[in-house]
Amino acid sequence: MNEFELIEKYFTRPAKRAKLGVGDDCAIITPTGDMELAVTTDTLISGRHFFPFVDPRKLGHKALAVNLSDLAAMGATPRYFTLALSLPKADPEWLQEFARGLFSLADSFHCELIGGDTVCGPLSITITALGELRRPFALRRDHARVGDDIWISGELGDAALALRVLNKQAKLSESEFAYVANRLEQPLPRVALGTALRPLAHAAIDISDGLIGDLKHVLKRSGVGAEVWLDRIPVSPVMSGQPLEMQFQCALAGGDDYELCFTARPENRRDIEAAGQSVGVRLTQVGQIVVGDTLQLLDKNGQPAQVVLQSFDHFA
């Protein structure tokens, strides 16, 4: 199978929304009405972002999911994506499964593959996703305001806990591990939540490198500080069975959650809770935006909590 047969067989489907899809030098797309385009890119590298032996179907899902999560964090509706693949060899079984995982998530969000690149090399996957936004409602990192509530979707830390089990730093029962492994390998991007929050929230970010590290990006860009209440951090039943220190490390500084952290006026609490219910996602208020430039962790008595955390950084 040569490069072009591979593209034709696994990654070429008739164009739908796109004017021109896979097969020419460029794809051609027309944005809907007067919508703006939100564009994001994420790369997954074997041995760094996933284990080389990971199920290719789950890898196909995750490679797209992490990009759709970025679109969700802006409140954008996914429309198109491109796929740059570096593969050590053209393994039909692997490609079949990878494409299955990829397209199954893509189809569920009506997000269309419109092009890419395929080369022979160490396994890595780069996806660029494009979404549409009705101006002026992008959920930007620099729009948090003093007095805003800080909210989290879903539950934090399960993916980091799964990674610790895989690295033999924690132990779980088989069914507990199955639950957290699924959170690590098949995150569900919070797209419906992101669009529902567009008129309700000020700022948002998706949590990919740990709540604390990612919330700090919002604080810095917005020129504000935050108080976060440790006893409010939402965790799963599996996580709550772990020692407190493990819970804090995973939920506050673990990676790969792909939940949304957003800020909004207290007046919007009811509407936000209703939005969470309508899209079926648990939402928890975990703190408040304050004057300043620091992130203060508070214990259940409102006292500063002493926890030492390390967020992930590729170059640190």
Pick 60 or 254: Cβ nearer ligand ADP = 60
Residue 170 has a CB neighbour count (10 Å cut-off) of 18
Least separation in angstroms between CB 126 and ligand ADP? 10
Pick 86 or 311: Cβ nearer ligand ADP = 86
Spatial strand order of the sheet with 149-153 comes to 203-207, 259-264, 149-153, 283-290, 225-229, 295-298
7 is a contact residue toward ligand ADP (CB under 6 A): yes
The SS3 of residue 89 is coil
25 is a contact residue toward Mg ion (CB under 5 A): yes
Q: Could you say which of ligand ADP, Mg ion, none residue 252 binds, taking C-beta under 5 to 8 angstroms by partner kind?
A: none
267 is a contact residue toward Mg ion (CB under 5 A): no
What one-character DSSP code corresponds to residue 142?
G
At residue 277's C-alpha, the angle toward residues 271 and 281, to 5°, is 115
What one-character DSSP code corresponds to residue 234?
-
Pick 25 or 34: Cβ nearer Mg ion = 25
Nearest-CB residue for Mg ion = 25
Alpha helix (H) ranges present in the chain? 3-11, 56-74, 92-108, 158-166, 174-185, 191-197, 211-222, 237-240, 244-253, 269-279
The SS3 of residue 33 is coil
Pick 115 or 187: Cβ nearer ligand ADP = 115
Q: Could you say which of ligand ADP, Mg ion, none residue 113 binds, taking C-beta under 5 to 8 angstroms by partner kind?
A: ligand ADP
Q: Could you say which of Mg ion, ligand ADP, none residue 5 binds, taking C-beta under 5 to 8 angstroms by partner kind?
A: none
Query: Please, which of residues 128-147 interact with Mg ion by CB under 5 A?
Result: none
Residues in Cβ contact with 145 at an 8 Å cutoff, skipping those fewer than 6 apart: 202, 222, 224, 263, 265, 289
Question: Which of 116, 131, 157, 254: binder of ligand ADP (CB under 6 A)?
Answer: 116
The SS3 of residue 189 is coil
83 is a contact residue toward ligand ADP (CB under 6 A): yes
2 is a contact residue toward ligand ADP (CB under 6 A): no
Question: Which of 63, 66, 74, 85: binder of ligand ADP (CB under 6 A)?
Answer: 85
Pick 25 or 174: Cβ nearer ligand ADP = 25
Residue 218 has a CB neighbour count (10 Å cut-off) of 26
Pattern 215-254, ligand ADP, x by CB under 6 A = ----------------------------------------
25 is a contact residue toward ligand ADP (CB under 6 A): yes
Chain centre to alpha carbon of residue 195: 14
- Applying CB under 6 A, the residues found at the interface with ligand ADP are 7, 11, 22-25, 83, 85, 113, 115-118
- Applying CB under 5 A, the residues found at the interface with Mg ion are 25
